[in-house]
Amino acid sequence: MDIKELLDLYKEGEYLKIIGLADDVHDANALFLKLRSLIQMNRNSEAFYFFLNNKESLLDKNFREAISLYIDILVNIDFDEIEILIYVSHFRSWPNQSDEDKLYFKGIRQEIEEKISKKSKQEIFTLTFYSKKEILDMLSCDVPTKVMEAIGYLRTDFIESKGDHEHYAQEIEDILKKRNNFNLCYGLLFDQLAFYRLNYWFSFQKNGLYYQINPYRYFSQQDKEKDYFAYACNYVYARERDLVVAELCMRLMYLTDVYMIPKILHSKVEAKELILVSYRQALEILGYDQEMANNLEIKRVNKNRLFDLSTILNEVYQEFR
């Protein structure tokens, strides 16, 4: 089927036909039609991975349209402004951009804000209920967005169960034991379990080593770390007037901190090192001058620990791809 026929189908609202027929079509225009059809059918997770798998063809064909559709997908999945900025920033240095493309990218924050605002105004509040089995199935899948969605429902179920959380414990441990890697999603899961002080020992594997964590005890152990994390957040807010930079820096600090589980911060020096690598990454994501990091006035750092933290942050950042 040629592109004119696909375009006619799209105008007629035959999105399912386009999704099915376009599997073996590699023409960039056909790829755009399939991507738009997935969005129209609200198959946003599928659209997310379709975009990433075909990003070269889409971005080379029409950079601005591709990025705009990518933002639509991320907004529909319910990522917030900071998360969308992280995802989209990967394409800031895409080769062969025109001057118009570069100018467009400078206004990307405004487009994101407008699309989030528009979605909020149009959204009708509905509740989706999932059974325990459905939540656990989502938690055990290999799609990060599904895992994050499951953690959200898990949080709701914890609140509604009024403290009776241990009915999930064995199932969650079984899921963790089947995982071959400990990624950011599961770091966030442990953070939630710690928040609800689930008094159960979980076993998991990370970087070839086996660990056991009792979220209830880990939460107590974190009390000192939380002081250092609060210190880090206050340090950034006191020195950065651009709230988006500050928020993005703290988001990266939090994600890196979670990814480091079971390690914790032990001093203000370590907190400052986490600030520095996160702040530099935030500046890079936003396309700001790295010299701005001098405003932090952080001079005494351990270069080896700084390198290790940068490596961890890079791993965290890659999971947004």
Distance CA 79, CA 75 (A): 6
pLDDT number for residue 160: 54
Low-confidence winner among 65-79, 246-260, 263-277, 305-319 (lowest mean pLDDT): 305-319
If pLDDT is split at 50, 70 and 90, which confidence band does 60 have?
very high
**b or e along 97-133 (b: 16 or more beta carbons within 10 Å of the residue's beta carbon)?**
beeebeebbeebeebbeebbeeeeeeeeeeeeebeee
pTM: 0.61
What is the H or E stretch that residue 278 is in? helix 268-286
Q: Does the pLDDT of residue 158 top 90, yes or no? A: no
Average pLDDT over the chain, rounded to an integer: 79
**Over the stretch 165-186, which tens digit does the pLDDT of each residue have?**
666 777 777 877 776 666 777 7
Write down the domain spans for the chain: 3-122, 132-212, 219-318
Q: Does the pLDDT of residue 191 top 50, yes or no? A: yes
Contacts of 85 (CB under 8 A, 6+ apart): 108, 109, 112, 244, 248, 285, 286
Q: Does the pLDDT of residue 308 top 70, yes or no? A: yes
151: its two tokens: 């953690």
Contacts of 274 (CB under 8 A, 6+ apart): 232, 253, 256, 257, 265, 309
**Over the stretch 74-127, which tens digit does the pLDDT of each residue have?**
888 888 887 888 788 878 888 888 889 888 887 888 888 888 888 776 654 444
Contacts of 73 (CB under 8 A, 6+ apart): 39, 44, 47, 48, 51
Level-2 CATH architecture, domain 3-122: Alpha Horseshoe (1.25)
